[in-house]
Chain A
């Protein structure tokens, strides 16, 4: 379908620099096809859809900022998606009328928002330009870029709508491959091939082109290919593979080995072809080998013919192992002697019977298989394929030997990839069913190594590996006296746990493990005294504890006790995984209490002494942070002198540790005595210094801790000396909403407790504008914190005057329609405070703030009621506001509030009613007065 679509697209050249898709029925259906594909791409290929393009797709859209809803940061002038790439750039950006889109998932979301304008958007997207400042505009460039963009879509459509996973070739696969290759024929030396054509234009209805009597033998079609550098090749594509034939006159007889696809065949025949393909540096993460080839071709040509590159697909999970491009065998110079020996052994493996195979495998094991040169030698000489083939035989000795080698060489990431490419995962997973325990254990161990990257993990799941691995865990929990067979079971379970540990890095696998009933089994193994068992088990649990369901199970199945027990193990790695599991689980209050109950707090503190092991330190400080959310735990931690140690960890630690240490200090500082203690241990200075860190997670915690410390006057003096207010204030400029709100809260504490805070605030150039500007944020938490900050800042009259000049009143008034209770509370406070200046009361009334506030009075939240009543009291000093309030029936709820136990609320409500009443009286008097005259 691909090429036919590309050819079908009918272009109208409007001018030299723009091209348009002509409005023909053909193009319409083509657009629909692409639209349909893009819309469903992210649901069908969620992982691929997340890949970030190197260059954005860019076009003039008809969408306007108001079309965007949640998930986007919307301001007057532009829209940015919340979703960002690793460098923090938004994946979608709209600065009308141009839109930049950098992933398929964003593209599909955008199309969803476009609603009935979908088709127009797809059209505009295809017609859109490449980044024009990257290359001078040239008419033919422009056109070719458009064609290529279309090509990419079409290729993706082709590749993804027809998953070509099959062992035997079929006409469709051949046709796809031929079409893709044809796209890159010609063009002199730049092309991959000079030409490629079928010998026959006639195609049978089954897709075959070979004559019927040859079809019986599996021949699909015959090709004549002119490579750029060698003589013309005559090729037969048959269901058994592609091979050279002797040409028509020789009756298509086979004259070469069969290859699994055309590309491999051509690579072996045409150095030019192989070279062009091999030059390609970037491999695109794609399921299917053929798809890989297709997209790689595209990248190659786009790099050569086009200045801009459209796609760069990279793995989205940062901890994910990158898929590296294949390393190509070097030329025959300088190969180590092992290479030749291994090559010889591989030959014996291929040619030998069962006995020779086993002997050869054993001989191969004598090489240092952890050494890369040996690993690559096995791969380059075709040994890997033989090893994988052995797994499908019936000879269990051969399988054992092969797995023993595979489990070692799979420490190499390229080997892992090739194993997955050669469908090795399927074979290995199958062995998990074997009755031979040694085989099961070896297979699981190999999976543990192979499943280090996402595609492998997905393969394990897709071929039913998770269920099988989970069932390996089922061994007797009676660890005291074991029969040899039970010991073997335990060995198998260990390997199973190792494999699950690797697999559990993928979210879907976590779910699959749970579904297969893995959690209770893991819980049972957690009681094991064996470290080699505990490490993978706890490793899996802590990996999975990122899922809430696991956290619940870990708690309810009583695993916290075992985790706490192993905190005191003598193995650093085990301690680390236990601490890290507790770190993840202790978000939950009951878990925190359980950790205390099982006396886990002291071992956590003692882990802080292992300052050399940074991973362990990060896990331990994380667990302490989360546990200290419960005040009872903080008290316990005090007994173990945790605070002093934590303060000492504020300097010279990696960020993973700092985030947790500072988080813990933020919790500790909730207790007043600790605020002073932090100062006494010298913690204030390093904390303030961390305010300049670029790490957002760290900044959230630092601002929280600084804010908590600032409520102590003596601390505040130091913070002020260190210019802390300015530092916190400037954090309002960071793009992250979490940091913004956390900084604003800290600012509240600082301003409230600093001497001359008003003066300091005024000295910050641009500070007030920043605050007022943030009132247009879309994040409620940010708005609430900024309102709170405004309330504190406005306590200083001069500051309030400046804020008023910057238009704080209409900005606040605009927010009154919110339904977010926390925001309502602080907003009302801010309004009440801002009423204290000039004609602000009247301005609030004019801006329409009064009516929504009356409505907010009905909120069930006490704090909202109270603040709102006070704001209304302030506003009621303006007669017009009183009229509005009265119209909105404010009196009844106010009278109700006058009966409250809260004196301030009573007073505010009464004051407000009094204002209304006074106005009424004045009015009546005036009327009477007028009447009398």
Chain B
């Protein structure tokens, strides 16, 4: 048993060294910790005997929920799709670490790119009116006297579009989004929470990096 774990350990270290060269913001040691955390999570999910090479959608979303406090279903689904770069419906170890690099330590530019990808539901490099409407729907309490339940949201979408659509083409290009967010950082998560709160980050880093260093 100890032999196996020793082998594993060596393998992990090599892997960590490789990955840490490709991914920003993490040291080799930290990558190692993230790999271990990844393995723990993979082991936790119901693999029912299949060979697995990553976190499936369900486990990933429940992880987002429990560890990072992201609870909005519309968003967590998109976050999964954004992490899962090769679209194979699982988040591989590398995708996990690459994703977390933005999630935990991303610069503003990286975060803008990330959020834009999350919000660009159909992947056409633009956030359209319909996409905004979809993401913001239900976020306003409906007043009983209003006929159209989405009237307020539709109006809000127009206000936001007017504010952010610099090139006046009726949708938000990446450039529009980037310019707006650089101007007012608060609008980074304009259409839904897709990044963890700083307190969650502290907790996660504390839990994963420090505890595992102590081992």
Interface positions of A (Cβ within 8 A of B): 344-345, 347-348, 351-356, 358-363, 365-366, 397, 400-401, 436
Contacts and interface: CB of A to CB of B under 8 A. Distances in A.
Contact of B191 (A345, A347, A355, A397): A355
B187 A362 contact: yes
B155 A359 contact: no
Given A348-B152, A348-B156, A400-B186, A355 B163 contact: no
Contact of A351 (B140, B160, B184, B187): B140
A363 B160 contact: yes
Contacts of B189: 355, 358, 397
A436 B163 CA distance: 27
Given A344-B155, A355-B193, A356-B136, A362 B186 contact: yes
Contacts of B192: 355
A274 to B, nearest CB: 26
A347 B142 CA distance: 11
5 contacts: A356-B140, A358-B189, A359-B136, A360-B156, A363-B159
A846 B140 CA distance: 98
B146 to A, nearest CB: 11
A351 B163 CA distance: 21
Interface in B120-154: 136, 139-141, 143, 152
B152 A365 contact: no
A354 B193 contact: yes
Nearest to A366: B163
A362 B198 contact: no
A776 to B, nearest CB: 72
B184 A352 contact: no
B193 to A, nearest CB: 7
Contacts of A354: 193
Given A351-B152, A358-B186, A358-B187, 20 more contacts: A345-B159, A348-B140, A348-B156, A351-B141, A351-B143, A352-B139, A352-B140, A353-B139, A354-B193, A355-B136, A355-B139, A355-B191, A356-B136, A356-B156, A359-B159, A359-B160, A362-B186, A363-B156, A363-B163, A401-B186
Contacts of B156: 348, 356, 359-360, 363
Contacts of B141: 351-352
Interface in B159-186: 159-160, 163, 184, 186
A400 B152 CA distance: 24
Contacts of B191: 355
- By secondary structure, the B interface counts as helix
Task: Classify chain B: how many residues form its interface, as a range.
Answer: 20 to 34
B204 to A, nearest CB: 16
Contacts of A353: 139-140
A362 B163 contact: yes
Interface centre among A351, A356, A360, A436 (most CB of B within 10 A): A356
A296 to B, nearest CB: 36
Contacts of B198: 436
Nearest to A350: B141
Given A355-B192, A356-B156, A362 B140 contact: no
A397 B198 CA distance: 11
A366 B161 CA distance: 13
Contacts of B139: 352-353, 355-356
Nearest to A353: B139
A366 B180 CA distance: 12
B100 interface: no
Given A356-B136, A359-B160, A365 B193 contact: no
B190 interface: yes
A361 B186 CA distance: 9
A360 B158 CA distance: 12
Nearest to B157: A359
A560 B160 CA distance: 53
A552 B136 CA distance: 60
B143 A358 contact: no
A362 B180 CA distance: 10
A358 B186 CA distance: 7
Interface centre among B141, B152, B186, B190 (most CB of A within 10 A): B186
Interface centre among B139, B152, B190, B192 (most CB of A within 10 A): B139
Contacts of A436: 198
A353 B142 CA distance: 12
Interface centre among A345, A351, A361, A401 (most CB of B within 10 A): A351
A361 B193 CA distance: 16
A358 B180 CA distance: 14
A401 B163 CA distance: 16
Contact of B187 (A345, A348, A356, A359): A359
Nearest to B190: A359
Nearest to B152: A348
Contacts of B155: 344
A899 B26 CA distance: 95
Interface centre among B140, B143, B198 (most CB of A within 10 A): B140
Contacts of A362: 163, 184, 186-187, 190
Interface in B183-207: 184, 186-187, 189-193, 198
A354 B195 CA distance: 14
Contacts of B160: 359, 363
B101 to A, nearest CB: 19
Nearest to B191: A355
A361 B163 CA distance: 12
